[in-house]
Structure 1
Amino acid sequence: MKNLICLTVVMAAFGFVVADVSGNEILSMDRQRAIIENYMYVTGQRSDLPTLAIDDEDHKHFPGKCGTPAILEFQRYRDQLDDGLLKSYNPMATARPLMDYYYDSPGGRIKLHYNKTGDHACYQSNIDSDGDGVPNYIESLGLIADHCYDEIFGTFGYPTPVVDTACPGGGDDRVDIYLRALTLGYYGLTYNQSEDCAGSDPTYRRAPCWIVIDHDFQHLPAYVGIPLEAAKVTLAHEIFHAAHFAMDATEPIEWFEMTAVWMEEQIYDHINDFYLLDEYFFNLPRRSLQLVNGAHEYASVIWPKYLSYNYGTDIIKDIWLLAADIGPGWHYLQMTDSAIFVASGGEDSLVTAMSEFALWNYFTGPYADLAPNDIGYPEKAELAFIPHDSMDVQREFPLTVTADANWFKPEVNASTYIHLTDLDRLQTQYWECTAWSVDGLDSTCTDSVLVVDDTLLTMWVYTGTISSGVWGISVVGQLVSEPDSLVVLGTAYVPGIISTYYVDLLFGEIDFRKYQSITFIFTATSINPAAYHAGETKNIAYVIYDNSGEIPESWKNRRAAVLTPYPNPAVVSELADAEIKFRFQVPTDSIGFTVDALAGAFITVDLYTVAGEYVALVEGSYLGEDRLGNSRVGVYEAGWDMKNQTGRDVASGVYLAYARLFTDVEREVLLAESHQKVVIIR
């Protein structure tokens, strides 16, 4: 029998109003409230969690990290905010804090402002080992800040911060860092001060700034008692924001934050603070890299990490500088495409990189050791992973999934994973009795053969429009013969226009009969930032149907049976595998599919001597799932190693076997049973 299973995928774009990247987005009242509330929360003017800090899918509070996005959004959209809302909330402009003390770092590049008493007192402010009046903690911060400055502006070669001499509260070329008690979850924030400074860039593209970090980090559970570890990642993050403002203060927030977290990893790779957040990316692979919701923009550090692993660390700087050269606005996607093209010698693009990125993200956490050679992050085993409930997992065929009912449609610059599993159900192996002997009223199977239900899977793809974009489609297979490894069957690219494709034309002929599961990874990529709007998705609908050929009559309506053991007699000296196999014929339905056995047939064989002494119990079950979520359905047999209950080899002779086949491990329904003799010769 050959079952032709066709998968039809339909992808199309919803119509929606996109943001004008020049900053003229039409803001809803809810969006305006969120901007005001978030700004007031991170600047200490409001104690209630803002709307932006609530997960729009599971309503959890986001952990927070950096307050810079809230400040940037308020500054960028302030002129568009409703006057009535502004009067109601009354957000105040934030001036540089006035602190009691300051400390110049040994390198002369940093000025730390701090208090020793009160709500904003620094960590262990009373400990001053050298008696110079500066707490040990502040001196340690100075060394850390110098190291971050030297790495960012020396080793990595980023443009130095814009001097704030003309700004209120400024005065020299040192970076001002203030220690303050920040609100829940925040490590630090960087203020763009360009609009207050005489002679500053009128486009606000290059901006002076000042930084605030938490005074002791003891509100962060991961850093209680070890604030310097938190200080390291925070100073790397915020001082890199100073580099951002020296290049282009008008780039989008997600690019600010994912690259700032990336810099943490470059300078202090051993701390791995982003492990606290990476699940926010892997749990929602269908959400865009452009998503800003208080968590995703930090978790998306995995993207610049991918870029730097593949193309070198300079690619992040190249993207920033290329975008700055174009002028104010959101240009990092286009410049990422250009930088990848140059770094790869013209072989790669944003489209190809995004597709490979989605493939790498499939091999993390517990699935890291399944990755083929040269695929995946160096630390892939330590990363979070895409759980099955974040994939479109399908087990039952035929099947129709409409766009309206599909929860896994990707946003632009995101991916969806369609995981077709339990393909063994369509490609089942089982024992079939081919000869019986009849003795009175009893009948016994005297010959059997391994039968394979020959299945072919094929696929049609329908793609819809992506503005300035392309669909990437990768296919990953789990071989029946090697279930603990995966193979990449290929990646294809189709234009972001309405088109139809046959999978064999994209990937060459794929013999799906060899695979226990197959995963299709669809990535919607666009270099146009205006192609994305939060929550808007590209439709995917598909149909899987059974186009069966002629089914042999002998495969239909087969009854359950216990088959002849093999080998019998068992001559131990001639056996490569010292086991006697008890084989079972599983029942099939009117079209040749196994029925009860699919629920997880359970096998028991009780063995006795001819004198009636109990020897051993053999059991077998196919209940359960493997690591990829595939039900285990296969050849129904149980092996006896010819040992007794104590593990000793049994002697030569005749043994009686009472073999039974049940529908499941509970043994509630007996499908078949048989008394048989087996002979062992040693």
Structure 2
Amino acid sequence: MKKALVLMMLAGLWVAGPVWAEGSAAEQWQQAYDQVIHLMGPYADSVAAGLARPIKCGTPWMLELALTASPDKMRPAGPYDRRDTMSFTYGTTHFLLHYTNQGADSIYQFNRQDSVTGVPNFIFEAGKAAERCWRRLVDTLGFRAPLSDGYYNGGTGGGGDGRMDIYFINAGSYYGATVPESLQATLPQTATAYMLMENDYYGFPGYEDDRVSALRVSIAHEFFHTIQFNLDLTETEGSGDSRSTAWSEMSATFMEEEFYDEVNDYLDYLHYFFFFPQWSLRAGYYNPATNWQRWQSYHMYGAVVFPLFLKEHFGTAIIKEVWDGCASAPGGNWWLATDVAIRNASAASLNLRVMFFRFALWNLFTGPWARSGEYYPDAAGYPNPTGSFQENASIKRFAREITAYPASVTIPDSLQPDNLGADYILLRNTSAFPAGLEVTFDGDRTKPWAIQIVGLPVTVSDLGQTIFIDSVTYDSTVTTIRIPNAADFDKIVIIPSVISGNALRVDYSLIVAPLGEGLLQPNGGERLYPGATYTILWNFPDSVEDVILELSLDNGGAWSTLATVPNSGLGYAWTVPSTPSDSCLIRVSDAAGGEPSDQSDEVFSIVSVGENRIVDPYPNPAWVQKDPFITFRGELRASEAGSTGDMVVSIMTLAGEKIVSLREAASGGAAEVLWNLTNESGEIVAAGPYLAVIEFAGMTEVKKIVVLR
């Protein structure tokens, strides 16, 4: 009951989904039925020959038939329903396989038979694959077993007994399909089902000499659909040929890789995801009448990288938790269930929005940009970020490539990101701007955005030196991000992500311009703590040798000199004084003559510490790729600012095993301990949650921290 309650609470944040096509149930049923006949009927092979690649799965059409059918149409007769024509059966513990050696449905190499069972090798291997999937998913991971159909037809079920039925037919353009058969009156979200499998995989690219590998991944995919149908048959959005079954299909494709990672069938579908990153993870269009519709019908299979991403962070068990969440409420809510699952797996330190933000970053490092040991394990085999879509060379991964500055960038409707979608903007020739660049982002202010900026080194092959420059959460104002070290990079990538649950094609624009001269930070609104180290940054011409830095605590009424330092471009590490004020300004000037000179645009604050306290660790979570440290900070009340003492931080596993212990002395009213995410041997720790036991000023607090990769 707790999960259902959480889902209802989250529904207030993730409101109505995209608007999908509508029509009467009868029209939708007929449309789906006609599509099934078109692709699985007498002309299936000729239809398949006209497609760039086989359609991964026919289950979305079968699901549409079930969800829009009247009672008399729950088992429609037709060219795809050829169960009564099967001549042979082969049974395993949990499955009954039906096949024939006659006509177009004759299985692959019928006469090559297993020496022990006497059944064709093709069928024997199918049975082995099915049982392997059952053992792993049901017996080991604890998924709810598919519903048995043994309770009807006098105990004979739909195929002879209560075991799961698998029928081998000439499915033409499909690897396979799962058909809901009998909806449950007491559990309307669930149904019995049977599996349809392609009989020979003739003409399927890459499988000319290895039909069994195609069979195995298809079994893994379709069997997971039978499990889904005993959890939530209604895990869809919309209706008709625009009904989205995105999560059902991407998670079923995930199971192919989970069981048969050596096959890598999913790689053939990644182009349809990586070259359309602006499309929502929730999108699924399965009527391939036009190129765009066909590409989107493949998109949800390429989106398998999302459950793969979740697995890399939380393990395979999170897929089960998401589906358990789907089962807690009818209708499409997988993104809500995913949010709950992420919160549970991360001790409430993460959520779907944060993880999608990270997911968008992972999707940059593919093909030749892949980094060994980081991001997706198979990323080197994923599409090249600077390549072209394989079916249309004019379609690129990057929504825009900018080579000259200043540049004003608008994004056409077709490239604007949907909810749970992202764009990628590539800045080239950035090393030509030693003074830096400035990015001004202006987007639809009613939608929550996240913007990441990543710099790639001049030696592009050395991607181990990739630097995560900045990230911001865009809210209701124009956002400006300064990149003073733009010249350090060969390329810079801007990644705007929409992290709302219901928006389509969200508008935004960018201005990228050379950075002007003057003070960069602090520039107004900052809250600085006494004793903290803060870097003052400015940008002056190379002709200026030294600069004077000054501080005002009264909005410019009086100024005191902080330091005279070289104009090196490296900034100045300033120790924040223990003088509280909410009217602070910094001024930087040429030490030789006062000009150029610039000061903070708005006031910033030096915060008064009223009580001794231990500040929450930050950043938390920490990403190994971009966060060099987690900072632990303790602050003393003003009356004790001159006191000395140590802060001790012990990093522990959740089981209480010590990873490392760190100690720093207090100075200037505060103490800071920086943990570099390593153990006592200097090795980066594994991703996951940890405990930090913090001792400071007579206080002991335990904080939960999370390390992610």
Fold shared by both chains (TM-score > 0.5): yes
Q: In the alignment, residue 455 of structure 1 is paired with which amino acid?
A: A
What SS does the corresponding residue of 1:103 show, helix, strand or coil? strand
Show the counterpart of 1:213. 197
Task: Classify the secondary structure of the residue corresponding to 1:208.
Answer: strand
Q: Which residue of 1 aligns with 2:54?
A: 63
User: Cα RMSD between the aligned structures?
Assistant: 3.6
Residue 474 (structure 1) shift = 1.4
Distance in 1, matches of 2:415 and 2:86, equals: 54
Structure 1 counterpart of 2:171: 182
Name the counterpart of 2:125. Answer: 140
Out of 208, 214, 226, the residue aligned to residue 224 of structure 1 is 208
Which structure has more RCO (C-alpha within 8 Å, separation ≥ 6)? Answer: 1
8 Å contact from structure 2 (residues 425, 494) kept in 1: yes
Counterpart of 2:251 in structure 1 is: 259
* Alignment partner, residue 511 of structure 1: 485
Could you say what secondary structure the match of 2:330 adopts? coil
Distance in structure 2 (CA, Å) of the matches to 1:33 and 1:277? 28
Residue identity matched to 2:57: C
Q: Is the 8 A contact 1:464 1:499 kept in 2?
A: no
Task: Give TM-score scaled by structure 1 length.
Answer: 0.62
1:456 equivalent among 421, 436, 439: 436
**1:277-330: CA deviation from partner (whole Å, max 9, x where unpaired):** 1121112211221222321111111000000111111000000001211x2111
Residue correspondences, number: 471
Q: 1:101 to 1:416 in 2, by over 3 A?
A: same
| Change beyond 3 A, Cα 1:129–1:268 | closer
- 1:34-91 CA-partner distances (Å, limit 9, x unpaired): 64543333442765999xx99xxxx975631110012213433458xxxxxx9xxx99
Hey, what's the Cα distance between the residues in 2 that align with 1:139 and 1:457?
63
- Quickly say closer, same or farther: Cα 1:517–1:129, change in 2 above 3 A: closer
2:99 aligned partner: 114
In structure 2, the partner of 1:396 is: 404
Q: CA deviation at 1:182?
A: 1.0
Cα distance in 2 between the residues matched to 1:124 and 1:333? 43
Change (3 A) 1:322 1:548: closer
> Structure 1: how far apart are the matches of 2:197 and 2:377?
31
Q: AA paired with 1:354? A: F
Contact 1:480 1:514 in 2 (8 A): yes
CA gap of 1:307–1:129, structure 2 versus 1, over 3 A, is: closer
Alignment of 1:608-623 (within 5 A): none
Give the match's secondary structure for 1:113: strand
Which whole-Å CA distance do the structure 2 matches of 1:422 and 1:171 have between them? 68
Distance of 1:97 and 1:362 partners within structure 2: 46
The alpha carbon displacement at 1:239 in A equals 0.8
Q: Work out the CA distance in 2 between the residues paired with 1:519 and 1:130.
A: 58
- Partner in structure 2 of residue 377 of structure 1: 376
Pair 1:279 & 2:264 matched: no
Separation of aligned partners in 1, 2:196 and 2:541: 76
Rate the CA distance shift 1:465–1:38 in 2: closer, same or farther, 3 A: farther
- 1: CA distance between counterparts of 2:114 and 2:457? 64
Task: State the SS of the aligned residue for 2:478.
Answer: strand
Structure 1: unaligned runs, 5 residues or longer: 1-15, 80-85, 428-453, 555-682
- The aligned amino acid for 1:502 is T
8 Å CA contact 2:189, 2:231 repeated in 1: yes
Judge which range, 159-168 or 304-313, deviates more: 159-168
Shift of 1:125: 1.1
Partner residue, 1:539 = 507
In the alignment, residue 385 of structure 2 is paired with which amino acid?
Answer: I
Which residue in the other structure is 1:488 paired with? 467
Q: After TM superposition, which residue ranges in structure 1, 4 or more long, deviate above 6 angstroms?
A: 27-34, 547-554
Q: Quickly say closer, same or farther: Cα 1:313–1:483, change in 2 above 3 A.
A: closer
Q: 1:552 to 1:360 in 2, by over 3 A?
A: closer
Q: Structure 1's 94 and 402: CA in aligned 2 closer, same or farther, altered over 3 A?
A: same
Quick one: structure 1 residues 320 and 501, their matched pair in 2 at CA, closer, same or farther if it must change by over 3 Å?
same
Distance 1:43 1:517 in 2: 48
Change over 3 Å in CA distance of 1:458–1:273 after alignment to 2 = same
Quick check: 2:439–2:513 contact (8 Å CA) kept in 1?
no
1:483–1:516: 8 Å Cα contact kept in structure 2?
Answer: no
User: Once the two structures are superposed, what CA deviation does each residue of 1:85-110 show, in whole Å capped at 9, x if it has no partner?
Assistant: x9xxx99596461134343434x211
Q: Secondary structure at the match of 2:103?
A: coil
Q: Quick check: 1:402–1:541 contact (8 Å CA) kept in 2?
A: yes
1:403-442 pair list within 5 angstroms: 403=411, 405=412, 408-424=415-431, 426-427=432-433
How far apart, CA to CA, are the structure 2 residues paired with 1:99 and 1:482?
60
Match of 1:157 in 2: 142
Q: Which residues in structure 2 correspond to 1:327-338 (within 5 Å)?
A: 327-338=329-340
Of stretches 228-237 and 217-226 in structure 1, the one that deviates more from structure 2 is: 217-226
Q: Distance in 1 between matches of 2:216 and 2:374?
A: 31
Residue identity opposite 2:313 in structure 1 = N
Asked if the contact 2:36–2:80 (Cα under 8 Å) also holds between the matched residues in 1, the reply is no
Distance 1:456 1:29, change over 3 A: farther
Equivalent residue number for residue 313 of structure 2: 310
Specify the SS of the correspondent of 1:247: coil
Query: Relative to structure 1, is the Cα distance of residues 315 and 115 closer, same or farther in structure 2, using a 3 angstrom cutoff?
Result: same
The answer to whether the 8 Å contact 1:37/1:46 transfers is: no
Partner residue, 1:193: 181
Q: Tell me if structure 1 keeps the 8 A contact 2:454–2:470.
A: no
Letter in 2 for 1:188: G
1:144-202, Cα deviation, whole Å (9 max, x unpaired) = 22112212211222100111124562453311000101112x1100001124xxxx236
Q: Which residue of 2 aligns with 1:498?
A: 476
Distance 1:188 1:466, change over 3 A: farther
Deviation at 1:548, TM superposition (A): 6.2
CA distance in 2, matches of 1:96, 1:60: 24
Counterpart Cα distance in 2 of 1:135 and 1:47:
24
Indicate the residue corresponding to 2:35 in structure 1: 38
Residue 103, structure 1, aligned to residue 102, structure 2: no
Identify the residue that residue 449 of structure 2 maps to in structure 1.
471
Is it true that 1:344 corresponds to 2:346 in the alignment?
yes
Inter-partner Cα distance in structure 2 for 1:482 and 1:230: 37
Kindly provide the amino acid, as one letter, of the partner of residue 135 in structure 1: P
Alignment partner, residue 244 of structure 1: 228
Which residue of 2 is the match for residue 172 of structure 1? 161
TM-score, normalised by the number of residues in structure 2: 0.60
The structural deviation recorded for 1:130 is 3.7
When Rg is computed on C-alpha atoms for both structures, the one with the higher figure is 1
Which residue type is aligned with residue 490 of structure 2? Answer: Q
Counterpart contact for 2:455–2:466, Cα < 8 Å: yes
Q: Deviation per CA, 1:302-360: give whole Å up to 9, x if none.
A: 000000111111000000001211x2111110111111111112221111111111111
Overall identity of the aligned pairs, in %: 28
For structure 2, the 5+ residue unaligned runs are 1-14, 237-244, 285-295, 388-395, 519-539, 544-709
Q: Which amino acid aligns with 1:521?
A: I
Q: Report the residue type matching 1:414 in the other structure.
A: G
SS state at 1:179 partner: strand
* 8 A contact 1:248–1:328 mirrored in 2: yes
Cα separation, 2, equivalents of 1:127 and 1:349: 52
**Cα distance, 1:367–1:165 mapped onto 2, change above 3 Å:** same
- Say which SS state the counterpart of residue 243 (structure 1) adopts: helix
**Partner Cα separation in structure 1 for residue 322 and residue 348 of structure 2:** 16
Aligned-partner SS, 1:119: helix
1:578-619 alpha-carbon deviations (Å, 9 max, x no partner): xxxxxxxxxxxxxxxxxxxxxxxxxxxxxxxxxxxxxxxxxx
Q: Deviations over 1:523-544 (max 9, x none)?
A: 1123x3xx15xxx411121223
Change in 2 beyond 3 A, CA 1:387/1:113: same
